[in-house]
Structure 1
Amino acid sequence: MSVTATRTPVLSAEGVTVRIGGRVLLDAVDLDVHAGEVLALVGPNGAGKSTLLGVVAGDTQPESGRTLLDGTDLRRWRLGDLARRRALLTQANSVAFPFTVREVVAMGRAPWAALPEGDDDEVIIEESLAATDTSHLRSRTFPTLSGGEKARASLSRALAQRAGILLLDEPTAAVDLRHQEIVLELARAVADDGGAVVVVLHDLELAAAWSDRLVMISDGRIRAEGPPEEVLTADLVEEVYQQPVLVHRHPVTGDLLVTPDRRRVRTTRTPAEPAFGVALESSLVKEFS
């Protein structure tokens, strides 16, 4: 799927622990990220995926452990150099002021100001808009966009940084089917050009289709790591997500599919256990009777 990943990681987390309010969000986690690969972080809500992404981005300081970028502790990197080496797309996709989409994307070029690379700003901004299918939105103010349009415009900004490492937190969460594919095609292209991509995804089928390596996280710990077909086993997915699933191949494309096994869910409910709708109706009757 991709160029061969280098053996020496460009980004590493070593023994990273994050604790907030007495709760352990990450527990002695190790992670290596290589050039030439798309690495997907998967796991249930609250597993620690976004926290780990924030740690390797340098936005979240761990209680213990460290993160290395190109072999140097992130704490020793200057902010400008860090912004030119890695780009981060968060879940928020929020802009406080009514900047246009083009102005938001142009912010991605700020780390290159006053450097020779800044001479290409205009071309790179237009290329980044076109790559995410947002050129037609360039004059719209950011707050007027839909959630999916904001996500794509924010990705354009990250692409405009032209950093070798791309860190994406749920870039497809609010995005329609066509643009989900476009977003992950872009991630794939960055890796194929020798960059490194770490992407947090909830859709296991998208993760399997576009990543070289999966890291499954549960309760702040890495439960499995490897090629998608090795990580996405029915037993492990069921254990981690507490949901019976079927894992199989698409009969036409051969893609790895993970679907809920609803037969088992329906048969495991006891007769005395009400469905949500029944329980809700019963509570409303009691409330207003």
Structure 2
Amino acid sequence: MSRTVPVAVPRKGRPLEAVFERLASVADCEALADSVSSTLRYEKAITKGTTDPDHGPYERLADYSDPTDPFAPEYTLLRDSRDGFPRRVVFDSATVDLGDTKLQLIGREEPFRALRTHEFALGFDSADLVLEEVVELQAAGLGSLAEINRRINPKDTDVRVVTGLGDTVYHTLMATPELLNGEDLDRSFVDAHEGPLCISPRYERLVEAVLGTDTIEGVEFVYPDEEREEEAAIADSGLGVYLTMTGSTARDYGLVLGEHLFPSETVLMENASEGDATVDEIKTLLGEAVEETELSVA
């Protein structure tokens, strides 16, 4: 008998696209993945004000729905945090057929926390959130996904990282040439640095975990103003950590890119206390889908 397994997934953005890309590599769901990605990119453009919709959010929500198809995606409306708090169409659910097993993808604002409260056995979320919430702060820093589980106290949570999805964007060191004065921009440079280190406010604990408590001794965290780009604020302070893909914006502000500290990547997670043989099969299937993943399935 076919079994349906609920899986917590993000409601929007790069992590959700990474989930569908991984599923499309192991199941016949390319059309579903393309449909969800294109719909949410369009909705993001509407929310950012770069596209004017022909219909309101409720009409668009009805257009995206097909109640006659059990495998069609469903969407819902949320209040966005942008000016005016507009309603935004986001992912709600979809079913992916894996043969003997069906995955019911359930959208959650914070899938990691849904796993922590034992709502799901499996889920996908950003590795950043794991570092922000449960990875223990230690004197030495960490630099890879493979190190995360060793830094989780079993008393804090039953959730563990299974594998990364490869949608890697790095938390990267950036500095002005004047501050570097010809030195290499790496962890040892930060270790010797005393003064401001510019980061996004939400990443303070993450940066502490990645660099280590010894390295940030003598460092003063400073933060960008709400209306100022992070790279511009780092150029003002001299040294900082921010996410990079190409680094072009950082270079536009005259910054030197240094060491990639940690991959900001979507990860498959499990609540170990909720697992069973079917969950193990799904973990293996999804974990083996991409060879270059940094973690092997436990």
TM-score (structure 1 length as normaliser):
0.32
> More helix per residue: 1 or 2?
1
